[in-house]
């Protein structure tokens, strides 16, 4: 190691102190998933973020968790989060009501490269709650639809009851310029759609692999197999992007928890190109 004279360190705003936001609406999406719309308590504050970024959300006295932003990046007066109740903090968050306050730090992390390739086919592959961090990218793309060739959403949920944003998916389906395919792992009576994991939709999805950019989010195992399926079709590894999940305590690369080999998922990710992480993602317990 080379020892050099230390540089002068500058004190900046404390990134560990949350800003206070108020819940403007709460919507139950599925039995265990809800969406909160938050508004800064301080008047006139805009919340600007890029699709794919996340916030650290703080429930008073309970704790803080990283939650991706699921709303429209162009609606800067509010910020939207879709959360599944799986742990202490998210369960407490699920009990909050309209008007309650919540702490917000962010936005943090990398984003879906929505402008990387104009004129390309865009393939969005989502598994379960993985649709939430992709929704800002969908809003962004549909608003600039003319910049892309085909736009395709492949979405897999566990059961028909677990499908997120049902009403919105119907609206998307009704557009002529957005192809939406939904599948469920297990059908129920009355389900007339596809049954099977989301990767089964990839071989028959109508996109041009040579000219495609893909955004993938879901459980890690689903992202691994989705990437392999896309590569099998001929999509370049550099054009496949995934969003990783790891334990995070700070969101800003100072706590060490989210290390994934040489990268910090919180600040180098969560969105990575497949080529960036392919050497590690198939190894166990990295």
Partner 1 sequence: MKQEKSFYLAPYDLNKVFEYFKSRGYKVFGPTIRDEAIVYDEIASVDDLPVGWMDEQAPGFYRLKKRNDKAFFGYVVGPHSWKKFLFPPVLTLFEAKRENGKFKVYDVNTANEKYVFVGVRACEISAILIQDKIFGGGQYTDPNYIKRRGNVFLIAVNCTEPGNNCFCASTGTGPRVVAGFDVLLTEVIRDDLHYFIGVPGSEKGEEMFVTLGFREAEEFEIKEAEKDVNEAINKFKRSVDLTDAVEVLQENYENPLWEKVSEKCLTCGNCTMVCPTCFCNTIEDVTDLAGQVAKRIRRWDSCFTMDFSYIHGGSVRYSVMSRYRQWMVHKLSTWKNQFGMLGCVGCGRCITWCPVGIDIVENLKLFKESTVKL
Does residue 148 contact residue 124 with C-beta atoms inside 8 Å?
A: no
Q: Which two tokens stand for residue 67?
A: 């939650």
Does residue 218 contact residue 198 with C-beta atoms inside 8 Å?
A: yes
Considering only residues 102 through 161, tell me which ones interact with partner 1, judged by CB under 8 A.
Answer: 103
Q: How near is the Cβ of 44 to partner 1 at its closest, in Å?
A: 18
Q: Which two tokens stand for residue 199?
A: 């990767």
What is the number of residues in the chain?
286
Residues 6+ away with beta carbon under 8 Å from 105 = 15, 16, 17, 18, 19, 55, 56, 58, 64, 251
Per rule CB under 8 A, is residue 209 in the interface with partner 1? no
Q: How near is the Cβ of 50 to partner 1 at its closest, in Å?
A: 15
Cα separation, 245 vs 279, in Å, equals 17
Closer by beta carbon to partner 1, 81 or else 214: 81
Total residues in contact with partner 1, by rule CB under 8 A = 51
Q: How near is the Cβ of 244 to partner 1 at its closest, in Å?
A: 10
Per rule CB under 8 A, is residue 10 in the interface with partner 1? yes
With the C-alpha atoms ordered 160, 166, 167, 168, is the resulting torsion angle positive or negative? Answer: negative
E runs forming strands in 110-196: 121-127, 151-157, 179-184, 194-195
Using the contact rule CB under 8 A, the part of the chain among 62-70, 135-143, 147-155, 208-216 near partner 1 is: 62-70
Residue 250, annotated as binding a ligand: yes
Considering only residues 246 through 285, tell me which ones interact with partner 1, judged by CB under 8 A.
Answer: 246-247, 249-250, 252-257, 259, 261-264, 267, 280, 283-285
Using the contact rule CB under 8 A, the part of the chain among 26-34, 58-66, 143-151, 228-236 near partner 1 is: 58-66
As separate numbers, helices (DSSP H) first and strands (DSSP E) second, the chain gives 5, 15
Residue 255, annotated as binding a ligand: yes
Closer by beta carbon to partner 1, 101 or else 228: 101
- The reply to whether omega before 107 is within 30° of 0 (cis) is yes
Closer by beta carbon to partner 1, 41 or else 195: 41
Q: How near is the Cβ of 258 to partner 1 at its closest, in Å?
A: 9
* Closest C-alpha to 251, from 12, 15, 28: 15
Does residue 184 contact residue 157 with C-beta atoms inside 8 Å?
A: yes
Per rule CB under 8 A, is residue 43 in the interface with partner 1? no
Residues engaged in binding partner 1 (CB under 8 A): 1-7, 9-18, 20, 41, 58, 60-64, 86-87, 101, 103, 245-247, 249-250, 252-257, 259, 261-264, 267, 280, 283-286
- Binding-site residue ranges for [2Fe-2S] cluster: 250, 255, 258, 266
């Amino acid at each position: 190691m080379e020892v050099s004279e230390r540089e002068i360190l500058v004190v900046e705003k404390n990134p560990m102190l949350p800003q206070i936001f108020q819940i403007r609406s709460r919507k139950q999406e599925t039995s265990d998933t809800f969406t909160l719309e938050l508004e800064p308590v301080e008047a006139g504050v805009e919340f600007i973020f890029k699709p794919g970024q996340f916030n650290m959300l703080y429930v008073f006295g309970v704790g803080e968790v990283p939650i991706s932003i699921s709303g429209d990046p162009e609606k800067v007066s509010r910020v939207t989060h879709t959360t599944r109740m799986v742990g202490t903090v998210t369960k407490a968050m699920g009990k909050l009501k309209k008007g309650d306050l919540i702490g917000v730090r962010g936005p943090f992390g990398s984003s879906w490269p929505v402008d990387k390739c104009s004129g390309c086919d865009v393939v969005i592959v989502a598994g379960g709650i993985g649709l939430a961090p992709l929704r800002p990218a969908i809003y962004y793309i549909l608003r600039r639809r003319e910049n892309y060739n085909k736009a395709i959403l492949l979405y897999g949920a566990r059961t028909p009851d677990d499908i997120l944003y049902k009403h919105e998916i119907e609206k998307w389906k009704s557009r002529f310029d957005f192809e939406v395919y939904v599948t469920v792992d297990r059908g129920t009576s009355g389900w007339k759609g596809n049954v099977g994991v989301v990767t089964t939709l990839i071989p028959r999805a109508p996109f041009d692999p040579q000219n495609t950019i893909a955004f993938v989010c879901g459980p890690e195992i689903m992202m691994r197999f989705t990437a392999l399926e896309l590569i099998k079709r001929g999509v370049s590894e550099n054009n496949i992007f995934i969003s990783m999940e790891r334990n995070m305590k700070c969101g800003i690369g100072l706590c060490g928890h989210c290390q994934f080999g040489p990268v910090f998922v919180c600040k180098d990710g969560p969105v990575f190109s497949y080529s960036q992480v392919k050497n590690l993602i198939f190894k166990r317990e990295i």
